[in-house]
Chains A and B, each alone.
Chain A
Amino acid sequence: MNSASLPLLETRGLDFRFGSRPILHEVNLRVEPGSIYGFLGPNGAGKSTTMRLLLGLLRPAAGSIHLFGHDMARHRVALLNRVGALIENPSLYDHLSGRENVEATRRLWGVPAHRTAEVLALVGLTDNAHRAAREYSLGMRQRLGLAIALLSDPDLLLLDEPTNGLDPSGIIEMRELLTRLRQEHGKTIVVSSHLINEIEKVATHVGVIQQGRLVFQGSLPDLQRLQTGRARLVLETEDADRCRNLLPRLLAGATVPAAGTLWLPWLNKEHSAEVAAALIAAGQPLYGLRLEQPSLEDTFLHLTEVKELV
């Protein structure tokens, strides 16, 4: 991440608790302008709470939030002028039509009347705009919520689980829309999810939160590099334990998941060649030798594993 440029959104030492229950601890988010920031974490890790804090819906116990370089606590209303948000399920008035729902928020912002038709077209709801929101499917509701978030043409979009309840084609549509918003309209987007697969195709940056702590933050290539460090060499032989006894130095870090299998942390190709040569020199059969890359999902799961307290 280019740390020289000023972040568009930044939190410094953000702490939050509900009563005495701590929810967030020392969260330091950093969102670069023009990026799609995938905010990942399992359910209950503190994603929605963070999103609500970013919008000033909750008051932090400690720390501060800076949008566009300004303190959120001091300039909330002014800063919200440049933020569009969709928090959890979209807030829709079921007794109003889709168009009236957009119109209600448009009046709050005081943006020109033609924006209503524009955002409805942008999310593909023009033909259904006259129907009551209560008749909308889950996917349509999500898109209507997004249309409302886009009304003011905001510089920053905060989307909390926008693909919640969408079917696979809806997820793909949402993904394409987000990519288009960034590339064609220059928006900065923070999008939270509990599934990395949804994010990895659109995100330029990723933050991973686990039990209220930010456990990873960086560009998507950074996350991919992190997983290279977790690649392993898989050796298949006759008797894994015997191999370990024969080659105590080379196989010291090996684990034995099955009688004939050895796992070694992958270091480099010379090391792999050395292990293979040594095994054969020791008279052990080598049935298979391969490099296993964990998927992004494995990396994500590893990051968010609940570490048992000993």
Chain B
Amino acid sequence: MEAALTPDFLTLPAAPAPLTQLRRTLSADALKLRRTAALRLTLLSGLFPVLIAFLIFFFKGDIIMKAGGSPWPRFIMAAWQTAGTLLLPLFVVLLTSLVVNVETKATAWKHLYAQPVGRGAVFGSKLLLILALNAVALLLFVALLLGAGFLLAAVRPKLGFQLHAVPLTPVLWMLGRTYVATLGLLAVQYIVSLLWRSFVVPVGVGMGAVVATIALLSWEHIDKIPYAAPLGTSASLKMTKAGVLETAHELAKHEWYSLGWFAGALLLGYLVLYRRNVTN
């Protein structure tokens, strides 16, 4: 049955619009997240720093609060500095590597690029997914942190959490600025994960970079290094002599650098990846 090439064979099928491609890829990527370590990490990562701050206040709160005043600033600072120094950059490193590794482990890049969605959609969808997971993790951290404060109000009323208002404005500013501070290293890690397509390389590079920045904290150009940005933002959280939590209501210099890294790494990485042959 040698079918002749009918005219409808020759009409070029319409390619889905770029936004449709992105929406479809995003919907598929969200499904693939089920039961992954990336998802568990996102949901649980905020717990650790909050738990540490909670335990400190639960057992030693009376010593810390000897001078009186609102316990909220000290409590929030304790948790935020635990999170921002080391945990948050490591979380971003792990998260990007794990999300990209979902495809690598399944040898699915060749499959993905053979589907009728452009490389831009594949690139953009995973990036949006990581950005969303990163935001969810930070929001969960803040929610858990405030929840732990209210729990302390109930189980340790002597500390006075119930007597003082939650300093919501500085917390929300910190939330936004911390998110911006993670973007630079997130983009760099995303590109490294896509270029090497292994789990070990991006995690190794990321952990090495995080540890190196901690060793280089006194360097005059440390604010230009994206891996140090979350730490810089955490350190900007201050308490005034009157016991009020304070943080700048604008982006600090290192946060602008983080945004610069974000834009630069994504642009450069996409240009390299766009033309690359898919061999695995």
Contact = CB atoms under 8 A, between A and B. Distances in A.
Interface of A: 2, 5-8, 32-35, 52, 55-59, 68-70, 75-83, 85, 87-96, 100, 103-105, 107-110, 148, 155, 182-183, 186
A81 B27 CA distance: 18
Nearest to B27: A107
B110 A95 contact: no
A70 B12 contact: yes
A78 to B, nearest CB: 4
19 contacts: A8-B5, A8-B9, A33-B3, A52-B110, A57-B279, A59-B275, A69-B9, A76-B118, A77-B16, A78-B116, A80-B115, A83-B114, A88-B110, A91-B106, A91-B112, A96-B35, A104-B31, A109-B116, A148-B111
B10 interface: yes
B28 A105 contact: yes
A5 B106 contact: no
A68 B27 CA distance: 29
Nearest to B276: A59
A135 to B, nearest CB: 14
7 closest A-B pairs (Cβ-Cβ)?
Answer: A91-B111, A91-B108, A34-B3, A78-B15, A57-B278, A107-B28, A80-B116
Contact of B28 (A79, A104, A155): A104
B53 to A, nearest CB: 33
Nearest to B114: A55
* Most chain A beta-carbon neighbours within 10 Å: one of B12, B36, B115: B115
B278 A58 contact: yes
Contact of B118 (A2, A59, A77): A77
B249 interface: no
Interface string B18-43: 00110011011001101110000000
Contact of B116 (A77, A104, A182): A77
B5 to A, nearest CB: 5
B13 interface: yes
B253 interface: no
A89 B106 CA distance: 10
B13 A95 contact: no
B9 A33 contact: yes
Contact of A103 (B21, B31, B105, B107): B31
B199 to A, nearest CB: 14
Interface in B196-217: none
B106 A92 contact: yes
A95 B31 contact: no
